[in-house]
Amino acid sequence: MTSAGNPFRPLTTVMSSRESDDAMYVEKLRKTVRQWDRWRWWLVAFHAVIFSLLVVSICCIFSQLQQDLNSFGILPQYTSAISGIVFSIGLKSGFWFCTAIQCLVTGLSGMRKEQMLLELYDEKHRPFISPVSND
């Protein structure tokens, strides 16, 4: 039977194109992992500095706010507005803390899933060597 008459020809074409697509995806993934490994520690250091600056700035803001509130004679009708402002600052700083911690954890993770995918791909496409020795 000729290849033109082969009923499985479209299937083999799809399978071979899928394998080439997989190989291209794996190469892109390898490049991404290499870039991540190269830049990861710089990103971790950057986010650690940002996190520490955030902690210091929030502490300074709250201490200055406390000093300002103690120095002025605050009327009772303004206390709800001031507490709302303090609450919104605290809420926003909590969001910043969570974001900074998430970035630190992401930076330290090292793309574990992608590296496992590459290991499985390499294991699947490694040439088979028989464990039986020929004596």
pTM: 0.53
What is the per-residue DSSP string for 65-79?
HHHHHHHS---HHHH
What confidence score (pLDDT) does residue 31 get? 92
Residue 107 included in any domain: yes
Residue 105, classed as helix, strand or coil, is helix
Tell me which residue of 108, 111, 101 sits closest to 44, measured CA to CA: 108
Residue 31 included in any domain: yes
Residue 80 included in any domain: yes
Residue 131 included in any domain: no
Domain extent, residue 61, equals 17-123
pLDDT (tens digit per residue) in 74-95: 665 666 677 777 788 888 888 8
How large is the C-alpha radius of gyration of the chain?
A: 29
Residue 25 included in any domain: yes
**Chain length of the chain:** 135
Residue 41 included in any domain: yes
- C-alpha to C-alpha distance for 47 and 97, rounded to whole angstroms: 11
Residue 6 included in any domain: no
